[in-house]
């Protein structure tokens, strides 16, 4: 079979940013589409995901993950269609989630591919509410927190792709849910459209006071996506036996190295000790076996409107870098996806 | 029945220390022994426990527990004998563990009392290796860490009453156990008498280097009794999926308030996120139902010598304050108990 466009355009890492990433850290290049070896699959990306953790793949970042080599495309999830296959598990025309990243085409041995039923839900949901994003939210709320009926559940970056799903699952589980987000528009969305009990604008004056007002009974569960000073503002509100999932520290991806004092670590250890706090991170790949259970619970909620999701589309591969940078100043709203098909 | 000594001598909190406690923060007073009401029991203390957390009960401390009123005796566990009883559950002559604290006599409704078989093991073990101390160590190692065969287990204050039991239980579970303690004598004890794989002296020059040498494969489990700079020295050694139990922050009991920078909290959040760390405190009273299971497992180990324990006795109620202060400069060795019977 002939590839219509014999070239593969890629967004590659051109430079390792210090601090925040900028446009000049990316470059768009053209590569020949490689021919397949036995067992391989060629996919053409239709939808490409942009996620905050990708900053940590650019280097000079607060991450344990090795950075991507300069000149190589950003990795990450996409929705793609199989264009060629020398792998018996995948046929031409199959829709899949792949891990081929910011490029038009990907070649893979199939181990990263997961078939998607294009008729069951919009394809974009496979990158968001019904994909890794939703699975992450669901795992955090249901697998790493034991139920506390009537408890107060706080989620930071609550209007974000993971946060908004976590908040709604927590509501469906019967918790009192307080979302934290930046800007009055996001706060309105959380309150009026997602139906959270409280939403607090961290960019507004008097944030600490608003936070205290939203947490009169303290905090029993925290789904943390931000870290940094946001986490420190929440610490005084931790209740006895509070459960904390650290899912992201977006505040710190671009800013590793030494943080100025005071040192808040001794205070956290004291809280863990005297308030019997549980705190954890988790590795999504350890829990992919739960994907079926997740889909069975969350799929119907999504199709019946019990869980709403918001998507923020950008068109064209070449517009990915600029869109990506919006993730870090709070200007995006919902799951950020590039349409490149 | 007539009480031989109609007076009850008590060690009371005379002043709230700022920073480290000192002798003048305690006073010894005489009180009349109260007469019993229905349901009450009068116990005479034989053995009185001294524990680091008691500093936090004196006030001006890094604690969530309310301080003891000035003029009132320090609370805490004792081994006692029932002298009078108007409670059908307890008879004169019964040996019990009580929570009557630093005084000769205690009056209780019996809810804090636990009978002890004086023939099964030395009475003092009911305050230490077979009491709350041992239960705490056992819970931390067996209930709040999932087994990692061959994993490296680190315990701080490893020669202390909880730490030494935790270290030995971890050895019996098949872990590679590294103990941290202060001074060459304690290090020798951990290595030669308790049989730990490595023991590191935090008071010796080159502590960080010795620590790195003792942890060539990093740290999979941490039983933390110290906190402060000790915890910070261990952070770089946390492995992927490390499990951390915060059982004490002895370094901070007397020193609340602001710690100077740099702020190590962002680094810890990053580790929790990227290394999928689990970290927790726990409340002993939540787990007293496990006491029977604990005794069934640890009792035989103690009587057969598989778990050794060390006790540090002081004679006379009046010597408790001076002995207690030794807990904070690392001069005690093993479970600190006053004989007052």
pLDDT digits (tens, 9 = 90+) for B74-95: 999 999 999 999 999 999 999 9
Tens digits of per-residue pLDDT, A194-210?
A: 999 999 999 999 999 99
- How close, in Å, is residue A340 to chain B by CA atoms? 31
Tens digits of per-residue pLDDT, B272-320?
A: 999 999 999 999 888 988 988 999 999 999 989 899 998 999 999 999 9
User: Of A63, A256, A260, which has the smallest distance from its Cβ to B262's Cβ?
Assistant: A260
Q: Does A263 touch chain B (CB under 8 A)?
A: yes
In a domain, A116, yes or no: yes
Query: Residue A64 in 3-state DSSP?
Result: coil
Q: How far apart are CA B34 and CA B51, in angstroms?
A: 27
Mean per-residue pLDDT, A79-84:
97
Indicate the pLDDT class of residue A318, thresholds 50, 70 and 90: very high
Indicate the pLDDT class of residue A257, thresholds 50, 70 and 90: low
- Domain identity same for B80 and B114: yes
Residue burial B188-201, b: 16+ Cβ < 10 Å; e: rest = ebbeeebebbbbbb
Q: Do A259 and B277 touch (CB under 8 A)?
A: no
Q: How far apart are CA A85 and CA B317, in angstroms?
A: 83
- Domain identity same for A109 and A152: no
- Domain identity same for A145 and A186: yes
User: Of A249, A258, A261, which has the smallest distance from its Cβ to B269's Cβ?
Assistant: A249
Q: Does B246 touch chain A (CB under 8 A)?
A: yes
In a domain, A327, yes or no: yes
Indicate the pLDDT class of residue B2, thresholds 50, 70 and 90: very low
Indicate the pLDDT class of residue A2, thresholds 50, 70 and 90: very low
- Domain identity same for B120 and B163: no
Query: Residue A109 in 3-state DSSP?
Result: coil
- Domain identity same for A195 and A230: yes
In percent, the amount of chain A with pLDDT more than 70 equals: 96
User: Of A247, A252, A269, which has the smallest distance from its Cβ to B246's Cβ?
Assistant: A269
Structural domain range at position B163 = 132-284
> Is pLDDT at A170 greater than 80 in this prediction?
yes
In a domain, B277, yes or no: yes
Using alpha carbons, select from A16, A75, A84 the residue that is nearest to residue A320. A75
Indicate the pLDDT class of residue B261, thresholds 50, 70 and 90: confident
User: Of B259, B266, B281, which has the smallest distance from its Cβ to A277's Cβ?
Assistant: B281
- Domain identity same for A194 and A276: yes
What CATH number does residue B13 fall under?
3.90.180.10
- Domain identity same for B153 and B100: no
Using alpha carbons only, what angle is made at residue A243 by residues A238 and A249, rounded to the nearest 5 degrees? Answer: 85
- Domain identity same for A101 and A139: no
Indicate the pLDDT class of residue A136, thresholds 50, 70 and 90: very high
Using alpha carbons, select from B277, B294, B275 the residue that is nearest to residue B141. B294
DSSP H or E run through A164: helix A161-172
Indicate the residue among B240, B267, B284 that finishes a domain.
B284
Q: How many CB atoms lie within 10 A of CB A191?
A: 14
- Domain identity same for A195 and A256: yes
- Domain identity same for A208 and A116: no
> Is pLDDT at A53 greater than 90 in this prediction?
no
* Residues β-bridged to residue A313: A337
Q: Does B304 touch chain A (CB under 8 A)?
A: no
Query: Residue A44 in 3-state DSSP?
Result: strand
Tens digits of per-residue pLDDT, B187-242?
A: 999 999 999 999 999 999 999 999 999 999 999 999 999 999 999 999 999 999 99
- Domain identity same for A319 and A220: no
The pLDDT score that the predictor gives to residue A278 is 98
In a domain, A294, yes or no: no
Contact (CB, 8 A) for B74 and B102: yes
Higher pLDDT, A330 or A32: A32
Mean per-residue pLDDT, B105-115:
93
Contact (CB, 8 A) for A249 and B270: yes
A110 DSSP 8-state letter? S
- Domain identity same for B148 and B267: yes
Query: Residue A212 in 3-state DSSP?
Result: helix
- Number of H-type helices and E-type strands within chain A: 8, 15
> Is pLDDT at A75 greater than 50 in this prediction?
yes
In percent, the amount of chain A with pLDDT more than 90 equals: 79
What CATH number does residue B150 fall under?
3.40.50.720
Q: Does A249 touch chain B (CB under 8 A)?
A: yes
Indicate the residue among B267, B284, B301 that finishes a domain.
B284
Indicate the pLDDT class of residue B256, thresholds 50, 70 and 90: low
Q: Does B284 touch chain A (CB under 8 A)?
A: no
The pLDDT score that the predictor gives to residue B253 is 64
In percent, the amount of chain B with pLDDT more than 70 equals: 96
> Is pLDDT at B181 greater than 50 in this prediction?
yes
Q: How far apart are CA A321 and CA A335, in angstroms?
A: 15
**DSSP for A264-291?**
-HHHHHHHHHHTT-EEE---GGGGGGGH
Q: Are strands B311-315 and B335-339 parallel, antiparallel or unpaired?
A: parallel
The pLDDT score that the predictor gives to residue A253 is 64
> Is pLDDT at A1 greater than 50 in this prediction?
no
Total tally of structural domains belonging to chain B: 2
Mean pLDDT of chain B: 92
Contact (CB, 8 A) for B93 and B42: no
Indicate the pLDDT class of residue B1, thresholds 50, 70 and 90: very low
Helix axes B265-274, A265-274, angle to 10 degrees: 60
Query: Considering Cα of A190, then A192, then A193, then A194, what sign does the dihedral take?
Result: positive
Tens digits of per-residue pLDDT, B121-156?
A: 899 999 999 999 999 999 999 999 999 999 999 999
In a domain, A248, yes or no: yes
In a domain, A73, yes or no: yes
In a domain, A319, yes or no: yes
In a domain, B111, yes or no: yes
């Amino acid at each position: 079979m002939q590839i219509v466009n014999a070239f593969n355009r890629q967004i590659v890492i051109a430079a390792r940013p210090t601090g925040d990433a900028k446009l000049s850290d990316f470059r768009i290049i053209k590569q020949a589409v490689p021919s397949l070896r036995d067992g391989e699959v060629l996919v053409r990306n239709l939808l490409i995901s942009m996620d905050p953790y990708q900053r940590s793949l650019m280097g000079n970042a607060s991450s344990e993950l090795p950075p991507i080599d300069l000149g190589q495309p950003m990795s990450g999830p996409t929705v793609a269609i199989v264009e060629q296959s020398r792998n018996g598990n995948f046929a031409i025309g199959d829709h899949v989630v792949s891990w081929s990243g910011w490029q038009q085409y990907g070649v893979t041995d199939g181990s990263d591919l997961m078939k998607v039923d294009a008729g069951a839900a919009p394809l974009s949901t496979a990158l968001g509410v019904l994909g890794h994003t939703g699975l992450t939210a669901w795992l955090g709320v249901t697998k790493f927190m034991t139920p506390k009926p009537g408890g107060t559940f706080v989620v930071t970056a609550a209007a974000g792709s993971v946060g908004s799903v976590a908040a709604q699952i927590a509501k469906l589980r019967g918790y009192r849910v307080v979302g934290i987000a930046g800007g009055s528009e996001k706060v309105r969305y959380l309150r009026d459209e997602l139906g959270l009990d409280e939403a607090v604008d961290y960019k507004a004056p008097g944030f600490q006071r608003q936070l205290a007002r939203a947490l009169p009974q303290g905090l029993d569960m925290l789904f943390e996506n931000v870290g940094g000073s946001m986490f420190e503002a929440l610490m005084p509100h931790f209740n006895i036996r509070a459960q904390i999932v650290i899912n992201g520290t977006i505040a710190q991806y671009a800013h590793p190295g030494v943080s100025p004092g005071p040192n808040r670590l001794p205070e956290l250890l004291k809280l863990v000790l005297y308030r019997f706090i549980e705190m954890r991170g988790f590795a999504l790949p350890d829990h992919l076996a739960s994907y079926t259970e997740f889909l069975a619970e969350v799929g119907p909620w999504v199709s019946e409107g019990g869980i709403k999701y918001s998507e923020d589309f950008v068109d064209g591969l070449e517009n990915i870098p600029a869109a990506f940078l919006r993730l870090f100043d709070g200007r995006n709203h919902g799951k950020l996806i590039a349409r490149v098909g």
